[in-house]
Amino acid sequence: MIYAVSPKMRTHGCRDVNSNNDGLKVLIGGWVQQIRDKGRLIFLTIRDQQGICQVTLHEKKVNPEVWRICKEVSLESVVSIKGSVKADPRSKLGAELIPSMIYIHSQAASKFPIDLTKMKTQMDIDTIFRYRELSIRDPEVVAIFELKNIIASATRRFFLEKGFTEIFTPLILTTSTEGGAEQFRLDYFEHPAVLAQSCQFYKQAALACHEKVFGIIPSWRAEKSHTPKHITEFWQIENEIAFATEKEIMDVQEDLLIFIMKEVLKEGKLQLELLNRTITVPSKPFKRLTFNEAKKKVQELGIEVDPQVDFGNPEETALSKAFHEPFFLTEFPTHLRGIYYACHDQNPKITRSLDLMAPEGFGELSSGGQRVSDYKILKERITQQGFNLEDFQWYLRMFKYGMPPHAGFGLGFERLIRWIANLSHIREACMFPRTPEIFQP
């Protein structure tokens, strides 16, 4: 390790070692992914965050110190290598790097705990997540997070271009936002508090400032669910619009998904290829089924249903599998929805609500609809559902003093990633997921 590293630790990426750059001098930096030692010939595969390249050393042609270091370097060590690109039609990558200098930044210990080349076939899930800080080095895993970045960025661009304002809502709450599902409890300077299950009340409050709001915002549910679409810490694409109805919320969701899919197809080609995923841009309008129609359809699919309860996981999966494009479920019964969903004028038993569903068995993506904006009706809804008015003090106050009609939705960000990237479990959509069993790293 006698070679001093240059002030710049890399000038090029591994993917620049290609046949178009024959003769180019480059300094690359990355992880040693593979070592093939053929005695007088060594091939190193170097991986950086955007690709791989092959470094070829002939004992007789290379600087002896470079040879010595390459004999010593271990798998997954981090190195910088200076050299020149040599086009080579025989090579799979079209070119190789002939090194003139190598510097080991970090010599990896031997016996890397997981085999990155066999993640899909031979590693068990527990091990993959126990060593998540190492298993994320797998290029297929990286591709998921690259897609996630494309989707997050497309989502924000979509909303900003349509004049929405991004909001940052509080995450520690001292009032229950919804009740129902379990909450993580904590002590806030001796006041009982919980982690937000959703930003519902706060995004509604934000309409006092902005006409249309959005955000990608974290939420938590302390549920011991063991389905492939539940994690305890998740982010939601949140959205609320003043002076709007559920019809506009459906439009927004259709346009959003179409915008995202187009962006993914444009910017995420390599990632989709690597994940062996084919996607299509859905067509507008999305199909719509009422809650009752959907229950009937599930029954036709041979699954027993109870029309009084919400869709269970098997029902939802079966229904979703019957579609090849996203679709809406509408007209959910009032007793199955939160206190903040408006009812139909003609039928108080039905809400003006909707769920956006992914096809192919992925199931629910979002919930939303028209909100209650009338103070008296809201009070009735709270007491009807068995809550105490005192627990909704500030929330009620904003309706008491003038609230516009409004509608909105919350769309599960990781659920969207799971569907687009075709992941068997939602935990794969998180770099460091939280489930009842996974809380480290």
* 258 lines the binding site for its own copies (CB under 8 A): no
How many residues sit in the footprint of its own copies (CB under 8 A)? 101
Binders of its own copies among residues 173 to 192 (CB under 8 A) are 174-175, 184-189, 191
Min dist. Cβ of residue 383 to its own copies (A): 19
Per the structure block, which two tokens stand in for 250?
Answer: 């459906």
Taking the chain, what is the end-to-end CA distance rounded to the nearest angstrom? 32
Per CB under 8 A, which of residues 268..287 are in contact with its own copies? none
Instruction: Characterise 199 by phi-psi region: left (phi > 0), alpha (psi -120 to 50), beta (else).
Output: alpha
Cα–Cα distance for residue pair 22/24, rounded to 1 Å: 6
- Interatomic CA distance for residues 345 and 21, integer angstroms: 68
Stretch of 73-81, 87-95, 320-328, 344-352 contacting its own copies, by CB under 8 A: 73-81
Among 18, 35, 88, 218, the residue binding its own copies under the rule CB under 8 A is 218
Cα–Cα distance between 441 and 107 in angstroms, integer?
A: 22
Which residue in the block uniquely carries the two structure tokens 């025989």?
A: 90
- Under a CB-based contact definition with an 8 Å cutoff, are residues 30 and 12 in contact? no
Least distance to its own copies from the beta carbon of 87, Å? 25
For Cα atoms 428, 429, 431, give the angle at the middle one, nearest 5 degrees: 80
CB of 419 to its own copies, least distance (A): 17
Q: How far is the CB of 433 from its own copies (least distance, A)?
A: 8
Residues near 318 by beta carbon (within 8 Å), at least 6 away in sequence: 298, 301, 303, 361
Helix (H) or strand (E) holding 57: strand 51-58
Q: Least distance (Å) from its own copies to the CB of residue 165? A: 5
Sign of CA dihedral 250, 143, 164, 398: positive
Residue type, 349: K
Between strands 172-173 and 95-106, the pairing is unpaired
Cα separation values, 60 from 22, 44, 86, 216, Å: 22, 17, 17, 57
Token readout for 192 is 């009982």
Residue from 21, 29, 330, 352 that binds its own copies (CB under 8 A)? 29
From candidates 91, 100, 165, 292, binder to its own copies by CB under 8 A: 165
Non-local (6+) Cβ contacts of 16 within 8 A are: 24, 26, 28, 53, 85
What is the closest distance, in whole angstroms, from the C-beta atom of residue 130 to its own copies in the complex? Answer: 9
Binding mask of the shown chain, residues 356 to 395, with x at each position contacting its own copies by CB under 8 A? -----------------xxx------------------xx
Q: Where are the alpha helices (DSSP H) in 181-245?
A: 200-205
By beta-carbon proximity to its own copies, the closer residue of 168 and 285 is: 168
Q: Which of residues 189-208 bind its own copies (CB under 8 A)?
A: 189, 191, 193, 195, 201-202, 205-208
User: Which residues 292-351 are close enough to bind its own copies by CB under 8 A?
Assistant: none
Phi/psi-derived region of residue 190, left when phi > 0, alpha when psi is between -120 and 50, beta in every other case: left
Nearer to its own copies, 38 or 209 (CB): 209
Per-residue binding letters, 121-160, with its own copies (x by CB under 8 A): ----------xxxx-xx---xx--xx-xx--xx--x---x
Site map (CB under 8 A) of its own copies, residues 79-118, x = contact: -x------------------------xxxxx--xx-----
Identified binder of its own copies from the candidate list 170, 180, 285, 314, rule CB under 8 A: 170
**Whether 216 contacts 239, CB under 8 Å:** no
Member of 226, 269, 324, 400 binding its own copies (CB under 8 A): 400
- The stretch among 35-43, 46-54, 341-349, 418-426 that binds its own copies (CB under 8 A) is 46-54
| Options 44, 78, 257, 260; binder of its own copies; rule CB under 8 A | 78
Residue 291 CA to residue 325 CA, distance in Å, equals 18
